[in-house]
Structure 1
Amino acid sequence: MLLIPAENAINWKRPPWMTLGLMLACFLMFVFYQSDDERLYGEAIEAYLEADLQSLEAPAYEDYLQRKIRLDGQDDLVSRLQDFNALQEQNEQGWIAVTLLFDAEFYQYLLSNRDVIWAPAQRQAWTEQRSQIQQQYVDQLSSNQLGLIPAELSLYTLITYQFLHGGWGHLIGNLVFLFLLGFTVEKALGSARFLMAYLFCGAVSGLVFTAFSLGSAVPLVGASGSISGLMGMYVAIYGLQKIRFFYFVGVYFNYFRAPALAMLPVWLGKEIYDYWFAGATGIAYMAHAGGLVAGAGLVWLLGRSWLQVKEEFYEPAETEQDERFTTGYAQAMASLGRMEFDLARRQFEALRAHYPDRTVLLEHLYKLSRLRPDLPAYRDYARELMNESLTRRQPERTIEVWAEYMKAGESHAPLDPEDHNRVLFTCLKNDDLKSAERAFERLRSAGDKALAGEACRLLAEEFEKRQVTPKARHYRQLMANGV
């Protein structure tokens, strides 16, 4: 059964760059670094068969499996023993070589018991030939170089093993889950903290695997422990909030909603159950369990400090915001239609608090404020709309709002000299000299001689360019008289 959280949709306007970077790193490691494994496998098998080492190791392998079944109670190895006997009956030398050559724990068993298993001559021949194949080929495999080997634990492999994979199916499966979980957690934590938390969960996952596999020579590879950490972080971030989960059973799939944290014990219990009862599947169940606990624990312990979720993460999705805006806007417009202007104003103000970038709301508030030009709100909204229009490169609207305010609001609350000066510059850029002159007169009457003098000079130069001599002379004379 497949069960994954699916609460968020990805916003490609803000791509999850770190998640995509981790996916790319895993892909490049597999395609380029691990690409040499196929050659090493082939040459190792060829050398192994050429040395006829299977004739020495096959009987020992049967005894090795029987001991583990009989003495250690590992009943899950019965099927492996049966499969191996079938290979011998069918004389499948190539598959026999693969089974014997790449069983790391069996090789350690042979090294520890070679004095008992073989006579001196056989032991010497086996040691020379097998050690050469091991050093030249097997030890050079990517999983033995950078994989996490519990018997040879090192700090750097706690990180490197997270980027290796055992095949295309393993790689693609992990990349899909990394993307599905990663973009949400990265959005919540930010790229840098997401990366550190991801690698930390992978390291803890590796340590838990090592604790349950002490002395094992079988290398651990793959990002599934780190991805389990993302699952733990995902549900811990949402806590008891109900979110959507996708499930797949057999051929049936659907969605359901449940408290996020309710899934953590379900996932954890499944991994622990499979560890004890699923048998030898090659899946590192306890590594997954360790990642889950590490991810959830990180958020619980550091969620109010270093690993605090970004505020914008809890903002509604863009589609949901559009729906909310449309509903609120329709209600405000309905109030306008009923001439309930005070109610409409409050509704537009509430909308603008949530959607400050929607200029249409400012336009409505400006028009409503014009109904009472004697109140300060009209001046405030007029100035704001003028500045907003300039920012959006709508100079005509800036001039229009200014002109409207001059007629209705200037007598109640005069604009500042800087406002008139800004309009004058806008008029000059927009080649509207008539409005520029009106703005100059307002600026001049506002009493700021420095701004008025500079504006006078600009007007004089502009009229001189157009060879309008009387106008140019008029402004030069004003400059000479100190404006």
Structure 2
Amino acid sequence: MLIIPAENTVNWRRPPWVTLGLMMACLLVFLFYQGGDERKLDAALEQYLESDLLALEAPAYEEYLQREIRFEGNQQRVLELQEFQQLQENEDVLWQAATLLLDREFFQYLQQNRDLIWAPAERTWWLEHRSVIEDQWISRMSAYQLGLVPAEFSLYTLITYQFLHGGWGHILGNLLFLFLLGFTVEKALGPGRFLVAYLLCGALSGMVFTVFSSDSQVPLVGASGSISGLMGMYVAIYGLQRIRFFYFLGIYFNYFRAPAIAMLPVWLGKEIYDYWFAGATGIAYMAHAGGLVAGAGLVGLLGQSWLQVKDEFFEPEQEAQDEQFTRAYAQAMASLGRMEFEQARRQFEALRERYPDRPILLEHLYHLAKLRPDLEAYRLRAEELMADAITRHQPEQMVAVWQEYLSKGEAFHPLAPEAHNRVLFASLKRHDFKAAEKAFERMRTRAQPDMVNEACRLLVAEFEKLQMEPKARHYRQLLNPPA
């Protein structure tokens, strides 16, 4: 049974760049770095068979498996022994060789017991030829160079193992889950903290795996520990909120809702149960369990400080926001239709506080304020709308609002000199010299001398370009009045 959270959808207007980057890094490592492993393994097998090491090691391998069955009670070894004996019956020497070469625990057994297994001549032959294969080929394969080998623990492999994978099925499955979980957690934490938390979960997951497999020579590879960390962070971020989960059982699948954190013990229990009872499946169950605990623990410990969730994460998705806006906007417009102007003003103000990037709301508030031009609110809304028009690169609207205000509200509450100055600049750019001169006359009576002089210089320059000398002379005289 598979259960994964499915609460969010991807906002491609703000792509999860770090998640996509991690996916690309894993894919590039698999294709271009791990792509050489097959060639190295082929060379190792060819040299192994040419050296006739199979005849020397095969009897030792059968004895090794039988000892594991007899003294350790390892039932998985029963299946391995049967499979190896079947390969012998079929005379499949290539798969026999691959089995012996890649069983790292068997190789460790040979190193520890070679004096008891073989006579001196055979032991010398084995050391001479097996060591060359190990040094030239096996030790240079990606899993043994950058994978996490518990018996040969290195700190740097806590990071590098997360980007290696064991095959196409392994990497495609991990990339799918990395995407499904990563885009949500990245949205919640922000790209920088998400990347650090992802790598830290993978490192902690690897440490847990090492503790439970400290003598193992089998390398750990794959992003599943880090992804388990994302699962732990995901449910810890939502806490007791009921969110949607997707489940798949056989051929049946569906969705259900549950408190997010309630799934953590379910996932954790499954990994621990499989570790004890599933047998040797090649799956790093304790790495998964470690990742789950690491992810949830990091959010639990640092969720109020370094790993604090961004405020906008819990805001509705864009589609839901649009639907809410449309509904509230319709209610405000209905109040306008009933001429309940004060009610409409409060509704539009509430909407603008929630959706500050919607200019239509400011326009409605301006028109409502225009109903009482004698009040200060009209001037404030006019100046606000003019500034917004400049921000949105709409000088025509700014000049139109300015002209309307001059006719309706200027007599009650004059605009600030800065507002007239903005109109002057915008009008000169549009070559609307009539509006520019009008704005200058309004501004000069209340502005500081520096502002007036700067405006004069601009007007002189523009009229000189147009060879309108009388106009240019007029503004030069204002700039330099006679003594």
Indicate yes or no: 2:45 matched with 1:45: yes
| Deviation readout 1:166-186 (Å, 9 max, x if unpaired) | 111111111111111111111
User: Which stretches in structure 2 are left out of the alignment for 5+ residues?
Assistant: none
Aligned pairs, number? 483
- Give the C-alpha shift of residue 479 in structure 1: 4.3
CA spacing shift, 1:456–1:184, aligned 2, 3 Å: same
Structure-2 residue corresponding to 1:372: 372
CA spacing shift, 1:120–1:342, aligned 2, 3 Å: same
Structure-2 residue corresponding to 1:257: 257
TM-score by structure 1 length?
0.96
The separation in 2 between residues aligned to 1:479 and 1:44, in whole angstroms, is: 90
Which amino acid is 1:17 matched to?
W
The separation in 2 between residues aligned to 1:199 and 1:469, in whole angstroms, is: 71
Indicate yes or no: 2:183 matched with 1:183: yes
Which amino acid is 1:306 matched to?
W
Structure-1 residue corresponding to 2:207: 207
SS in 1 for 2:253: strand
The separation in 2 between residues aligned to 1:77 and 1:232, in whole angstroms, is: 34
The separation in 1 between residues aligned to 2:404 and 2:220, in whole angstroms, is: 74
TM-score by structure 2 length?
0.96
Structure-2 residue corresponding to 1:109: 109
- Give the C-alpha shift of residue 482 in structure 1: 7.3
- Give the C-alpha shift of residue 437 in structure 1: 2.4
The separation in 1 between residues aligned to 2:113 and 2:463, in whole angstroms, is: 105
Structure-2 residue corresponding to 1:94: 94
Q: Is the 8 A contact 1:19 1:179 kept in 2?
A: yes
- Give the alignment of 1:53-202 within 5 angstroms: 53-202=53-202
- Give the C-alpha shift of residue 471 in structure 1: 4.2
- Give the C-alpha shift of residue 219 in structure 1: 0.8
- Give the C-alpha shift of residue 252 in structure 1: 2.1
- Give the C-alpha shift of residue 30 in structure 1: 1.2
Q: Is the 8 A contact 1:453 1:482 kept in 2?
A: no
CA spacing shift, 1:478–1:151, aligned 2, 3 Å: closer
Structure-1 residue corresponding to 2:22: 22
- Give the C-alpha shift of residue 480 in structure 1: 4.9
The separation in 2 between residues aligned to 1:383 and 1:231, in whole angstroms, is: 50
SS in 1 for 2:123: helix
CA spacing shift, 1:130–1:418, aligned 2, 3 Å: same
The separation in 2 between residues aligned to 1:482 and 1:218, in whole angstroms, is: 95
CA spacing shift, 1:399–1:78, aligned 2, 3 Å: same
- Give the C-alpha shift of residue 464 in structure 1: 4.6
Structure-2 residue corresponding to 1:422: 422
The separation in 1 between residues aligned to 2:191 and 2:478, in whole angstroms, is: 60
The separation in 1 between residues aligned to 2:420 and 2:114, in whole angstroms, is: 97
CA spacing shift, 1:120–1:305, aligned 2, 3 Å: same
The separation in 1 between residues aligned to 2:15 and 2:353, in whole angstroms, is: 26
SS in 2 for 1:446: coil
Structure-2 residue corresponding to 1:4: 4
The separation in 1 between residues aligned to 2:202 and 2:97, in whole angstroms, is: 33
- Give the C-alpha shift of residue 465 in structure 1: 4.2
Structure-2 residue corresponding to 1:289: 289
SS in 2 for 1:253: strand
Identity among equivalent pairs (%): 69
Which amino acid is 1:122 matched to?
E
- Give the C-alpha shift of residue 468 in structure 1: 4.6
The separation in 1 between residues aligned to 2:480 and 2:101, in whole angstroms, is: 101
The separation in 2 between residues aligned to 1:206 and 1:74, in whole angstroms, is: 24
| Deviation readout 1:111-166 (Å, 9 max, x if unpaired) | 11222222222222222222222222111111111111111111111111111111
Indicate yes or no: 2:266 matched with 1:266: yes
The separation in 1 between residues aligned to 2:482 and 2:271, in whole angstroms, is: 86
The separation in 1 between residues aligned to 2:127 and 2:480, in whole angstroms, is: 107
SS in 1 for 2:445: helix
SS in 1 for 2:357: coil
Q: Is the 8 A contact 1:232 1:291 kept in 2?
A: yes
- Give the C-alpha shift of residue 436 in structure 1: 2.0
- Give the C-alpha shift of residue 440 in structure 1: 2.1
The separation in 1 between residues aligned to 2:129 and 2:478, in whole angstroms, is: 105
Structure-2 residue corresponding to 1:234: 234
RMSD of the alignment, in Å? 1.8
CA spacing shift, 1:112–1:383, aligned 2, 3 Å: same
The separation in 1 between residues aligned to 2:283 and 2:56, in whole angstroms, is: 30
- Give the C-alpha shift of residue 199 in structure 1: 1.3
Structure-2 residue corresponding to 1:406: 406
The separation in 2 between residues aligned to 1:474 and 1:35, in whole angstroms, is: 80
Structure-2 residue corresponding to 1:336: 336
Which amino acid is 2:199 matched to?
L
The separation in 2 between residues aligned to 1:480 and 1:123, in whole angstroms, is: 107
| Deviation readout 1:181-208 (Å, 9 max, x if unpaired) | 1111112112222121111111111111
Q: Is the 8 A contact 1:237 1:299 kept in 2?
A: yes
Structure-2 residue corresponding to 1:246: 246
SS in 2 for 1:255: strand
The separation in 2 between residues aligned to 1:113 and 1:2, in whole angstroms, is: 43
- Give the C-alpha shift of residue 447 in structure 1: 5.4
Which amino acid is 2:280 matched to?
A
CA spacing shift, 1:84–1:482, aligned 2, 3 Å: farther
The separation in 2 between residues aligned to 1:313 and 1:414, in whole angstroms, is: 43
Which amino acid is 1:128 matched to?
E
Which amino acid is 2:409 matched to?
G
- Give the C-alpha shift of residue 457 in structure 1: 4.3
- Give the C-alpha shift of residue 463 in structure 1: 4.0
SS in 1 for 2:155: coil
The separation in 1 between residues aligned to 2:463 and 2:123, in whole angstroms, is: 107
User: Which stretches in structure 1 are left out of the alignment for 5+ residues?
Assistant: none
The separation in 2 between residues aligned to 1:451 and 1:229, in whole angstroms, is: 60
CA spacing shift, 1:474–1:135, aligned 2, 3 Å: closer
